[in-house]
Amino acid sequence: MAMTEAQHRAINKYRRKNKARTQYINRKSVAKNFILKDATEDDLTMLLDCIRQRQHELSN
């Protein structure tokens, strides 16, 4: 289903007003897709270490 010009304008307006949220969503999506589709065993091990470190930082 094609988007109308008004929908494109609304999306662009939202993205301009919510840059941090848009960037967060994009980064989260990229990370998830990397893990699910491309990550090697070594990548996953490294990422798990990073996740544990971040969880420790957030709990303090």
Taking only the tens place, the pLDDT of each residue in 3-41 is 999 999 999 999 999 999 999 999 999 999 999 999 999
Neighbours of 5 (CB within 10 A): 7
What is the pLDDT at residue 25? 98
Yes or no: say if 22 and 15 are a contact pair by the CB < 8 Å rule: yes
Q: Per-domain residue ranges for the chain?
A: 5-59
CA nearest neighbour of 39 among 50, 24, 23? 50
Q: Quick one: pLDDT at residue 41?
A: 98
How confident is the model at residue 18, as a pLDDT?
98
Q: Which residues of 29-59 are buried (b: 16+ CB within 10 A; e: fewer)?
A: eeeeeeeeeeeeeeeeeeeeeeeeeeeeeee
* Amino acid present at 20: A
Which pLDDT score is estimated for 1?
Answer: 79
